[in-house]
Amino acid sequence: RDILYVGDTARVPYGNKSAEMVTAYSREIIHFLKKKGADRIVVACNTASALAVGKLRDSASVPLHGMIESGVRAALEVAGSGPVGVIGTSATIASGAYQTALSQLRPDWKILAQATPLLAPLVEESWLEGEVTEKVVRRYLEPMMREKIRVLVLACTHYPLLKGVLGKVLGGGVRLVDSS
């Protein structure tokens, strides 16, 4: 099978854009991929998954898969009794997509969500470790660490590249869940 890939490097980051803008970009990319013959589309961006997939699924006329379901499924497999943390772009966290999906399946879980808008730019700059990255991660995760999260869902496809520093800051008792 052929795999077609679109990396929208001209308009990233999506995480600080409006839902309308992300949906418009996603609609354009879906149209482009369908013109190229795509018979199934995976939206491999958590922000686009959170903001656009639900709105575009019916009109896409091909199966459209987002990241939210896989991230939630992975969290369910390892989380035990929680509490569960979710980090992502400002738009992903503001959408409530992960929080809602997790709460619907496990209403007993305490879910802590934190927008972490500086992490994707750090990854883009290849600042995957070091003092600055560690301080930024620690600052974002301090509230979750106080709540003793057991699982952290990485709700941005950039964040798995930060697993080393995330693990160092959180310690070995927290499972990292990669939504991809």
Distance CA 79, CA 18 (A): 31
Q: Phi first, then psi: what are they for 175, rounded to 5°?
A: -85, 135
Active-site residue flag, 156: yes
**Options 53, 111, 153, 156, the catalytic residue:** 156
Distance CA 42, CA 140 (A): 29
**Options 38, 43, 45, 149, the catalytic residue:** 45
Distance CA 62, CA 4 (A): 14
One-letter amino acid of 116 = T
Active site positions, annotated: 45, 156
